Amino acid sequence: MARQHSRTAHGRLTAPLAIDIARLGRRPGAMFTVQDTVDSPTRIGVELIAIQRGAPLALDLRVESVSEGVLVTGTVTAPTTGECSRCLTAIQGRVQVALTELFAYPGSTTAATTEEDEVGHVVDEKIDLEQSIIDAVGLELPFSPVCRPDCPGLCPQCGVVLDTDPDHHHDQIDPRWAKLADIVTAQRPDAADRGER
């Protein structure tokens, strides 16, 4: 089901994250705002936590014409889902990223002197924020998210969730002493036969 957009600004989204900037007319200082909520066109994040495809992206942006292109500033906020890197339980949260991105006009000095992936570009009087948002969210989200800072995780021997059984443990012999323990165990029946206790 398509999400209802709550546009309260002058900007117009022509694709999920593309903005039509024709009204700016390359007049430095001309600007408009975009306040909108759109569905995320793809999963955005890192391996264990992300904004899921279709999740609401709340955009609060200022789009301004500058001499070399279009400057976009503002925030993007969205819910995140994932799993704890220690105990693998599901976790949910929110992420808010700040955007400050320049999109170079075709034929500008910036477009001519930068690599293709250094700055965004105005294409057919539109700017596409998708890659900028992907990059910003990737930098903001933790690579190893946790359900809480003191999560004890899983037992490395059997996989039990230690939070549900805090007294869980395994009796283990240090591998450096394992051979000695085998010798002692092997000698015990002989000692019992000799009457030593």
- Check residue 3 and report its DSSP letter: P
- Structural tokens at position 85: 């890197």
Per residue in 65-113, pLDDT (tens digit) is 998 899 999 999 999 999 999 999 999 999 999 999 999 888 877 777 7
118 vs 136: CA distance, rounded Å: 14
Angle 93-143-62 from CA coordinates, rounded to 5°: 60
In terms of domains, do 108 and 33 share one?
A: yes
- Answering whether pTM is above 0.85, one says no
- Total number of domains constituting the chain: 2
For 183, the domain range is: 152-188
In terms of domains, do 116 and 178 share one?
A: no
In terms of domains, do 135 and 162 share one?
A: no
Q: Is residue 12 part of a domain?
A: no
Per residue in 136-166, pLDDT (tens digit) is 999 999 999 999 999 888 877 777 777 677 7
